């Protein structure tokens, strides 16, 4: 069954109905675009991406754009997971914000769970994003899922983010997807040892201020984060810092908890997650590993 065919799309829709029976995927397709006040003129080389069921216009694209439907990505990711059974049975979750204009597909591998601190468990996670409104490229990001508070923190494996398809390609390269997934999951165990060092690394006022200066939050958001108890330990950042007990891992957990649970916009969350990950990773590499 060839990707891009009607047969493949129907199989993908059937799979999504099975995996996510309570989710309504937009019935997406392409329509011609016309313009002009009196005489309607066909816009050559342009088409609209719409939901046929609601007449919702997601975007206007050029002929070079290859429409990648959400269901097709789900099937391709699902097939890639089946090709790596050695990592256990994955758990797939999905969100379709903005009336389905965007898709966020989360793949957790619970059988690869590791412990950073006692009772603080992390699970390797890969998040796939795509959109019909042209604001998100089709991409996959590797990170971790903290079981303790359902916190999907995008801490990069080896400081890298992997993207292997973009908005102008109609299919996910299955071999590339499988290889990227394997590399991420293999590196996860090695990276977990680094996160354990984060949990042992105490930070003082100077590093605390340096991290805040680099993070993408307003003064009002900083105030909210500093008042937010960490789900597992109930620590508050200022009080823990004053007691000289704040670790890099604890600081990151509070910040990523805020991003996961308090930022409602999926657009901003997608922008903030890699920025937060890069900030803490750079602090560890540039400040904590210097002897």
| Residue 151 · residue 260 · CB < 8 Å | yes
- For strands 41-51 and 28-35, give the pairing: antiparallel
Of 261, 135, 145, residue with least CA distance to 195? 145
- Bridge-partner residues for 47, per DSSP? 32, 61
Asked if 147 and 123 touch (Cβ cutoff 8 Å), the reply is yes
Distance CA 165, CA 137 (A): 8
Q: Name the packing angle between helices 70-82 and 174-200 (round to 10°).
A: 80
Residues sharing a CB contact under 8 Å with residue 182, sequence separation 6 or more, in sequence order: 84
Beta bridge partners of 117: 120
Q: Are 185 and 112 in contact (CB under 8 A)?
A: yes
- Which pairing describes strands 56-62 and 120-131: parallel, antiparallel, or unpaired? unpaired
Q: How far apart are CA 218 and CA 263, in angstroms?
A: 13
Token reading at 117: 């601190």
The DSSP letter of residue 4 is T
The span from the CA of 146 to the CA of 29, in Å, is 37
The enclosing H or E element of 197 equals: helix 174-200
How far apart (Å, rounded) are the C-alpha atoms in residues 79 and 99? 26
Question: Which phi-psi region, left, alpha or beta, contains residue 65 (left: φ > 0; alpha: ψ -120 to 50)?
Answer: beta
pTM (global) more than 0.75: yes
Per-residue confidence in pLDDT tens, the chain, 291 aa? 777 789 999 999 999 999 999 999 999 999 999 998 888 999 999 999 999 999 999 999 998 888 889 999 999 899 888 888 888 999 999 999 999 999 999 898 999 888 888 778 888 888 888 899 998 888 777 777 776 665 565 555 543 444 444 443 444 566 677 777 777 787 787 788 888 899 999 999 999 999 999 999 999 999 999 999 987 788 899 999 999 999 999 999 899 889 988 998 888 888 888 888 889 988 988 876 654
**Domain spans in the chain, listed from the N-terminal domain onward:** 6-195, 201-288
């Amino acid at each position: 069954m060839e990707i891009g065919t009607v047969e493949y799309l129907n199989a993908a829709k059937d799979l999504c109905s099975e995996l996510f029976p309570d989710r309504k995927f937009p019935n997406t397709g392409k329509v011609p675009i016309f313009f002009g006040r009196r005489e309607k003129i066909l816009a050559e080389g342009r088409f609209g991406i719409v939901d046929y069921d609601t007449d919702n216009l997601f975007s206007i694209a050029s002929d070079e754009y290859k429409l990648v439907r959400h269901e097709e990505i789900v099937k391709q990711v699902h097939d890639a997971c089946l090709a790596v059974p050695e990592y256990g049975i994955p758990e797939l979750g999905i969100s379709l914000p903005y009336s389905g204009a965007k898709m966020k597909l989360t793949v957790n591998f619970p059988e690869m769970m590791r412990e950073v601190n006692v009772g603080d468990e992390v699970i390797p996670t890969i998040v796939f994003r795509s959109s019909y409104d042209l604001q998100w490229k089709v991409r996959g990001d590797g990170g971790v899922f903290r079981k303790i508070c359902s916190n999907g923190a995008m801490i990069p494996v080896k400081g890298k983010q992997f993207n292997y398809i973009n908005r102008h390609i109609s299919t996910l390269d299955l071999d590339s997807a499988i290889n990227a997934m394997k590399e991420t999951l293999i590196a996860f165990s090695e990276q977990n040892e680094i996160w354990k060092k984060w949990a042992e690394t105490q930070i003082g006022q100077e590093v605390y201020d340096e991290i805040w200066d680099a993070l993408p939050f307003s003064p009002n958001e900083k105030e909210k984060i500093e008042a937010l108890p960490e789900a597992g330990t109930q620590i508050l950042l200022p009080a823990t810092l004053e007691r000289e007990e704040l670790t890099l891992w604890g600081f990151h957990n509070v910040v990523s908890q805020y991003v996961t649970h308090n930022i409602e916009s999926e657009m901003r969350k997608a922008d903030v997650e890699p920025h937060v990950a890069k900030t803490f990773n750079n602090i560890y590499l540039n400040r904590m590993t210097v002897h």
